[in-house]
Amino acid sequence: KQEATSSSEAAPITAEGEMPQKKFYRSRAHCNPLSFNEAFDYPTRPDLFDWTEEHYPEHPSLAQDNKEMSGFNAQSAAIRPDVLDVGCGFGGLTMALSPALPNNTILGLEIRAKVTEYVRLRIVAHRKENPGQYQNCSVMRTNAMKYLPNFFPKASLEKLFFCFPDPHFKRKNHPRRIVSERLLSEYAFLLKPEVGRLYCITDVKDLHDWHVEKCDAHPLFERLTEEEMEADPCVTLMKTETEEGKKVKREGRFGHDMYYQVYKRVDETKDGSGSTSATNFFCEGEFGVEVQ
């Protein structure tokens, strides 16, 4: 009996290929990314990471002859995520983006180990139930506030989603927020000019105002109009497919309203727009100075 008990305890909660049950993977809603000291593996350069090894082994863009080729360079050069769901939670949006963006490669980023494992098992189960589908999405556990440049080169991303991030209400904790002046410059570095989009959504009005203030002030981001956002199917998905979005509609802890805004990564070389230099940094209305 003791041997049977020990072997059953050692067995995984969810067998590979089966749909995981969320109740076994509950975790604290948020953690402090600045003091999270657990070691994460990351490459020294983006080109040293092979995304096809663990994340996209059957990616639709991989040709049959490429699959038969051995070697790092043949496969890693072809596949790299260009849509990131930062703080993906239980993976609702990550999963929804897969069929909605069949020509893109989606990656959910999550810092919590149990939640990341849930999303991984969920994707594996969907791939098993739907052969040929969900091969362009995956999940990775990492700290997005620290390691994005290690995984993604300049101008390689098309979309960045920040859905219902931790508000960090206390003023002393504002540096923990996922949208800030410093991080926006990092996101601008990673997004493709003119093509790149940054999506922010929350049910906390004060946090939404913070997002708008920081993004409006940054010279490399331009706010999309209401018409442009309505024409973007991804806006609808981030309102309806995230677990938090469904919870807001159902319970409404801070009210049943969701506040969102989408920004375009502008091209700083086009007509001089968005360019910041030593000569204009201290001009009124520019990045460094507020108009009184």
267 is catalytic: no
124 to 18, 61, 89, 135, 208: CA distances (angstroms): 8, 18, 16, 9, 34
CB atoms closer than 10 angstroms to residue 177: 19
* φ, ψ (nearest 5 deg) of residue 265: -80, 110
Q: Which residues pair with 262 in a beta bridge?
A: 199
- Listed residue (193, 247, 258) closest to 219, CA to CA: 193
Candidates 96, 159, 162, 157; CA nearest to 123 is 96
Angle formed at CA 103 by CA 76 and CA 98, multiple of 5 degrees: 95
Catalytic residue among 50, 82, 166, 203: 166
Length of the chain: 292
Answer positive or negative: Cα dihedral of 107, 113, 118, 122. positive
Longest CA span, the chain: 78
Establish how many alpha carbons lie within 13 A of residue 74's alpha carbon, considering only the half-sphere containing its beta carbon.
11
DSSP tag of 207: H
Q: Which contiguous run of DSSP H or E holds residue 286?
A: none
- Which amino acid is residue 11, in one-letter code? A
Q: 117: which 2 tokens?
A: 């494992």
Question: What is the distance between the alpha carbons of residues 219 and 292, in angstroms, rounded to a whole number?
Answer: 18
Active-site residue numbers? 166
